[in-house]
Amino acid sequence: MLAVSEIHTYYGDSYILQGLSLTVEEGTAVALLGRNGMGKTTTIRSIMGFTPPRRGEIHFRGKDVTHWVPYRRARLGMALCPQGRRIFPSLSVEENLTMAARGRDRTKGELWDLGRIYERYPVLKDRARLKGTSLSGGEQQMLAVGRGLMTNPDLFVLDEPSEGLAPMLVRDIGKIIAELRETGLSILLVEQNITMALNVADRIYVISSGKIVYEGAPSELAANETVKRQYLGVAGGK
């Protein structure tokens, strides 16, 4: 679905991603874990086309999209649920959902539309006429997920959806992402919450200072105290 090959991404003179590669196989969930400022969002910005890499390649659904503008990538089936949710404050819940809506030609799978979103996430239906930003943090995260789904993506990229949420709500969001994976959607999940990522993902990458420093199955990372301590700030608890 997605192949990122040896990308080098800069902000001006700041050299951030230094030869980063990762892949997301169709129908799988991949998590990218790493501490603050390590380059997770920059990886997403490279993939979505907001800050394209200076070197390296990005292939999506078999096409070289490295130099494509963001909207073209979106049209080919990428959607982003951005860090901090970015709910449009002047719009209602329903407007936040419908402004992004896009039907797509599909051979498989059910399309996401307002009816299906409301059926799946009834709290959004109950709040449909309220301003998006009047919702609680957990509800706003659900809205941000729903907004992304309304574009009917093939690849759903989520940037720290658990950020700022209480543990119970983190579990709820984790459950939603796991359900989406069950529908066959391909997912790239950026997280600092290791537990959530281990529960949801088929494969894990760890990023540190713009480079992938570890790749493995969730069970392997769970057992790797060195990587968790060195790159994820997990205190050695044994």
Ligand X SMILES: Nc1ncnc2c1ncn2[C@@H]1O[C@H](COP(=O)(O)OP(=O)(O)OP(=O)(O)O)[C@@H](O)[C@H]1O
Give the footprint of ligand X on this chain (CB under 6 A). 11, 14, 16, 34, 36-42, 83, 192
Among Mg ion, ligand X, none, the one that 39 touches (CB under a kind-dependent 5 to 8 A) is: ligand X
Contact status, residue 58 vs residue 6, Cβ threshold 8 Å: no
DSSP element (H, E) containing 81: strand 78-81
Stretch that binds Mg ion, among 21-29, 68-76, 78-86, 179-187 (CB under 5 A): 78-86
Distance (Å, rounded) from C-alpha 92 to C-alpha 90?
A: 7
| CB crowding 158-197: b at 16 or more within 10 Å, else e | bbbbbbebeeebbebbbebbeebbeeebbbbbbbbbbebb
Stretch that binds Mg ion, among 34-42, 73-81, 117-125, 169-177 (CB under 5 A): 34-42
Smallest distance, ligand X to C-beta of residue 212, A: 13
List the interface residues with Mg ion, window 35-54 (CB under 5 A).
Answer: 40-41
Stretch that binds Mg ion, among 76-84, 117-125, 129-137, 222-230 (CB under 5 A): 76-84
Size of residue set near Mg ion by CB under 5 A: 3
Cα 133 to its chain centre, rounded Å, is: 21
CA nearest to 154, candidates 64, 25, 21, 67: 25
Among Mg ion, ligand X, none, the one that 181 touches (CB under a kind-dependent 5 to 8 A) is: none
Smallest distance, ligand X to C-beta of residue 194, A: 13
Smallest distance, Mg ion to C-beta of residue 228, A: 19
Among ligand X, Mg ion, none, the one that 42 touches (CB under a kind-dependent 5 to 8 A) is: ligand X
Residues ≥6 apart with Cβ < 8 Å to 11: 42, 51
